[in-house]
Chain A
Amino acid sequence: MFFLKMAFKNLTRHKRRTLITALIIAFAILIYIMTEGLMIGMTEMSFNNIINLESGHLQVAKKSYWEDRKELPLDNLISPTEELENKIEKTTGFKAMTKRLNFSVRLNNGIDELPVTGVGIDLGQDRKVFRLNKYLVKGRMPREGSSEIIMGTKLAELMGFKNGDYAILLFRTDEDTFNTIDGEIVGLFNTPHPSLNESSVFLPLSTAQSRLNVEDKISHYAIRLTEQDQAIPAAEELNSRLKDPYHAYSWKDAAQSLVTMLEMQEIETQVILAIILTLAAVGIINTVILSALERMEELGMMKALGMHEREIVYTFMLEAAGIGIIGGSMGIIMGVIGLAIFNINGIDMSALTAGGDMTYGFPLKGTIYAGWELNSFIFVFLYGVFISILASVFPALWAARKDPVKAIYHR
């Protein structure tokens, strides 16, 4: 307690110096909190977009299909069986499931052609898993058994389509022959998932199946659970019951490259934090050395009166911890204010990308908001304090080891 008091009093001896050194730590923490907040915000929105529009919480497909699913093949499809569906329904937290058939399509407007992804959807079930219908800006969802289609406004604009126009879908069937669908565009959607807007066409599952000659086969099941966090354990649980070649994949598996990208970003944020905190550490070392130099005579006297070296080191460490706590609190307060400002206004992605539609791999667009996470606040605060204490150990040892006689006779 005595040392605590002394450290506190020492801190107030040079208020300006204490404050300035604390400021370096504050900045490190501020920058960390802001970038982390932004990343959390973008991550959450991206994941939500992927779950709500692309993959659902879980997907069940054949292993061999999953590996080249990006090529949109028509082999290794699933023939739905009651047995398989029953197994899926028994998953803990199961809410709904739907069937989807993805295939490669060339969209033709009579002049130009564009390769896009065709998605056959089970109209009755799809809305229970995905939120596509919520983003319809014009028209309605297609009707079962018809050759009605819906597409993104962006894609329609590019191809010069309006609601009510007919678009030609050209594709290769399972028997390697070409077939077409004259699709009537009955709805246009504008989702926050850019690639969905730009390169997907949705149509009723039964129509897709009959035109592709795949009978009742589908490419995968998409499953919605009650909670997002259940997805990974649920996938494991389901996999223990599913027999080869079937396999369940969580949304994290579906968004694998996004997850890798986020991990890289996370490392980058950590590196920046480490750089600034290293600077802060040098600042702390400097402060402790300066304080020690100033108090050399005092230290000598205290040692002569019987204070142990260890106790002197403690005092300096406590002082450094004080600086860390002041800096950490300032940083967190500034960071929270900064994030609040971000969240009141939101960040317009299109302004960030100079008006373009570039997304840099993030499946999101429009205005984004930063996220909050108490854990990251606590982590960075403790980290700052820890670095401060660590940095003070060596200069404190250096100061404490001075010979009391020489220290008193300092000048």
Chain B
Amino acid sequence: MKFLMNIAFKNMFRNKLRTIVSILAIAFAVMIIVFARGLIDGMIEDTYSLYIHYDTGHIKIIDQEYEQKERLLSLQYTVNGVGNKSFSEMKEDLNNLEGIKMVIPRLKFGAAVSTEEELVQMLAWGVVGAKELQFTNLERQLVEGRMVKSGREVVMGTKLLAKINKSVGEDVTMVYTTAFSSFQGATFEIVGKIESNLPLLNEQLVFMPLDTAQRLLYLNNESTELLLVTNNREQANEYLPAVKNYLEKNGGADKYLAQSWKNGNSFIQLLEVSETIYNFVYLFLVLLSSIVVINTLVMIVKERTQEIGMMSALGLKKKEVMLLFMLEGSAMAVVGSFFGALAGGALNYYLSGVGFDYSAAFEDIDVLMNPIIYPTFKIEHMLFAFAIGVIVTTLTAIIPARRAAKLDPTEALREI
């Protein structure tokens, strides 16, 4: 084996130019894979965490009817305790379940602010400020003031504030419809400003303390949804049965719907499918580049027909001849993939600081996605691309290697 490796290695240098071209082809494909994976990972990871933070949590508990009426921001289908247990007991019980780190209640409703010219519609969330800061990355995006605590105070996005012509510290009067369908208004102090790339945060949302929202809407001890947070989002599915079990035991299985973030939104499912598809695309790219290696190997086999004949006449087995050529192919694959992975890594490292700006294209799209995509730099991507480059190329090298092994020593020796 060592002997064969030696020959294969030396053979690589017999014609440096064609070896370099083959290596280049693989390196290029591997580099593209590292880059593409970094870019897609950057986009998907970001989107997943946005959905988890601002839509689904790790596990989301809502009223079953609410799922259909979510767009209406209906207040008729709330989470208000289970069985004989009150809302706060329910929260406590859920928090005590194994693996559940936090229970975050949100009360979502529609509100509007009347300016001189028009009625600005907005989406109001009654939240527990401290919990939101702990769970989401709002802290970094709070550019002015602080998060809501209690009483009549609100936090809004920069663009929304500009629309209603107010700034932090001023009072704002909002109108809303209560749970009893009466139209009311209340005045709040603006205590903070959020600046975010995300249109939802920047121009639609207004945060206010949960208890204030509950009092104003006559929904004491109720919220429209409960988000459960686990230690790790991948474990959400493991803890889901316990949550469902709890709801069932207390007779809430018919009323409530508990779902993991993966099923929470069709966009997440679409992203998961596309991740799989992309893996096949990578495979395909490497296959294309390994064509170059096959071509080179085919020629090498032809060139060395006499040598092969002689070697097999001297006792090299068919298997060993095949191995010899596969080794040569995989040596090129290893070198090419190595440099490709390095180059791709370097590219991602650089781009992870720069990012691609898609804001113009995302303007009208109704999904939670950061319009500036930063490719991620991860060793994992480089290893993946390296492995796929080496494996696929070595496997395709079997084709010419088999041809070499099939040669009859006497015939091969005679050929000029």
Contact = CB atoms under 8 A, between A and B. Distances in A.
Contact of A24 (B24, B119, B177, B291): B291
A21 B25 CA distance: 13
Interface string B31-46: 0100000000000000
A294 B28 CA distance: 26
Interface size class on chain A is 35 or more
B18 A290 contact: yes
Interface stretch (A184-192, A214-222, A256-264): A256-264
A111 B289 contact: no
Interface string A266-283: 000000000110111011
A276 B284 CA distance: 10
Interface stretch (B98-106, B110-118, B134-142, B347-355): B110-118
A264 B296 contact: no
Contacts of B24: 282
B292 A73 contact: no
Contact of A293 (B15, B119, B269): B15
A104 B21 CA distance: 63
Interface in B117-144: 117-119, 121
A282 B364 contact: no
Interface in A340-379: 352-356, 358-361
Interface in A169-191: 172, 176
Given A113-B110, A261-B361, A283 B119 contact: no
Nearest to A294: B299
B29 A279 contact: yes
B269 A110 contact: no
A285 B18 CA distance: 9
A351 B114 CA distance: 42
Interface residues of B, number: 54
A358 B292 contact: no
Nearest to A290: B299
Interface stretch (B2-10, B71-79, B188-196, B222-230): B71-79
A20 interface: yes
Nearest to B270: A354
A287 interface: yes
B393 interface: no
A27 B284 CA distance: 10
Contacts of A293: 15, 18, 299
Contacts of A225: none
A237 interface: no
Contact of B295 (A17, A74, A260, A360): A17
A158 B18 contact: no
Contact of B289 (A260, A282, A356): A282
Nearest to A258: B364
B314 interface: no
A53 to B, nearest CB: 15
B69 A158 contact: yes
Contacts of B291: 20-21, 23-24, 283
A275 B360 CA distance: 24
Given A20-B295, A286-B22, A115 B121 contact: yes
A159 interface: yes
A398 B68 CA distance: 69
Contact of A172 (B118, B267, B269): B118
Interface string A95-107: 0000000001000
Q: Which of A113, A114, A276, A290 is the most central at the interface, judged by chain B CB atoms within 10 Å of its CB?
A: A290
A112 B72 contact: yes
A112 B292 contact: no
A352 B299 CA distance: 44
A393 B24 CA distance: 18
B361 A353 contact: no
Interface string A68-87: 00011111000000000000
A326 interface: no
Interface string B382-406: 0000000000000000000000000
B273 A264 contact: no
B294 interface: yes
A356 B366 CA distance: 12
A289 interface: yes
B181 interface: yes
B218 interface: no
Given A172-B114, A257-B363, A354 B18 contact: no
Interface in B349-387: 358, 360-367
A398 B302 CA distance: 22
A104 B17 CA distance: 69
**A-B pairs, 9 with minimum CB distance:** A356-B266, A361-B365, A261-B361, A264-B361, A257-B363, A282-B25, A112-B72, A260-B360, A354-B269
